Amino acid sequence: MATEETRKNVVDKITEAKKEYDNVVVVVSAIGRLGAPYATDSLLHLVNYKNTLLSPKEIDLLMSVGEIISALVITNTLLENGIKACALTGGGAGIVTDNDFNNANVIDIKTEPIIKLLNEGIIPVVAGFQGATVENEITTLGRGGSDTTASLLGEALDADAIEIFTDVDGIMTADPRICKSAKIIDEISYNEVFQMAGSGAKVIHPRAVEVASRSGIPLIIKNTFNDSRGTSIKTFIKSERKKTIQDKLITSIAHKTNIIQFSIQGEIDDENFFTELANENVSIDIINIFPERKVFTIDDTCKNKVIKLINKYNAPYTFIDNCCKVTVIGEKITGVPGVMAKIIRCLSKSSVEILQTADSLSTIACLIKEKDLEIATEALHKEFMLG
């Protein structure tokens, strides 16, 4: 939305939606990223956010400005193109939140303001990422808040679909920066997107998917700048699933970098040790506990905290840094024998050493050296015929 040309793309998408649906509600996010004058991070830099004396309530006032500007800019652009529109703040659109400033939870949505505009043939343009308390104080919803706003309004209005427009063609089978054969996924389940996000893929904010999932409304990721079909996130009926993805076991491959694997030898007080890790805000990802040793992975930013705590217990340990986690994701792997064996065989053929594994009903993760990430991802992508 930063230029006249890109705003024209936005208006074109809204016009197309008006042809397909009886009513259209638009949710906007702030313009640009850090460096752009009205981006949220740019606004925070104005007050030296990390050392600011402003209260969380006042910070929310500041952070809400970017989306409000966007709502007014798009409303003006629609009006200039002969389309009736009206800009609304999150609170003005009926989004009621608790008083947890900077990361508020939505407790109610009063749809009357939006429905009134729709009945008058006016497109509501809602500032995303925000709401208001019952005392009418502005709050923000945390990162990914505009996507979440769209899902919440879609749920409250019983929408036919929630379309999220971004700068990519949809969700891909792998990160195209490290996997040249990655392709767009036409359809994917809510659960698989959750797993992708949790495994490091930058797809869509999980809160937005959670809301769409509980309401059963398809969530469609599209590109603002072209006519790509995008990716539809939905609930699958088993028979329908086979028709849509040719009965493939794996839907996508995700990865997470900057991981360290620790191995502690000997016996320590497991309960106290891991409780103290949690108290230090150290999040453990993969973990295996044996009588004679404990093996677990953490984000590398927590390395010094973990070493300090291990030394407190006088336990011998080793660690491997510069690791990453590669995760294959697919709802259909549940109960299917041989998938792990296939992964191990594939990575072994590619001379990729597996340091640790973890699995759930719909994922299998392998910890490997970061230098092998591209080789491993391409090999698994090819092995499971995702390209």
Annotation: binding site for ATP: 166-167, 177, 202-203
DSSP state of 314: T
Neighbours of 365 (CB within 10 A): 25
Q: With beta carbons less than 8 A apart as the criterion, state whether 321 and 303 touch.
A: yes
Strands 85-88 and 123-127: parallel
Q: Is the CB of residue 111 less than 8 Å from the CB of residue 157?
A: yes
Backbone torsions φ then ψ of 15, nearest 5 degrees = -65, -45
Per-residue b or e along 321-346, where b marks 16 or more CB atoms closer than 10 Å to that residue's CB: eebbbbbbbbbbbeeeeebeebbeeb
Tokens of 301: 């930013």
Extended beta strands in 40-137, E state: 85-88, 95-97, 106-109, 123-127, 130-132
The CA distance from 219 to 213, in Å, is 9
What is the CA angle 344-349-352, rounded to 5? 70
CA angle 360, 363, 366 (to 5 degrees): 100
DSSP-derived 3-state class of residue 238: helix
Q: Are 297 and 285 in contact (CB under 8 A)?
A: yes
Annotated binding site: 40, 67, 166-167, 177, 202-203
Q: Where are the beta strands (DSSP E) in 180-251?
A: 187-189, 219-223, 231-234
Q: What is the Cα–Cα distance from 39 to 328, expressed in whole angstroms? A: 35
Instruction: Please give the annotated binding residues for substrate, written as ranges.
Output: 40, 67
Other C-beta atoms closer than 10 Å to the C-beta of 176 total: 13
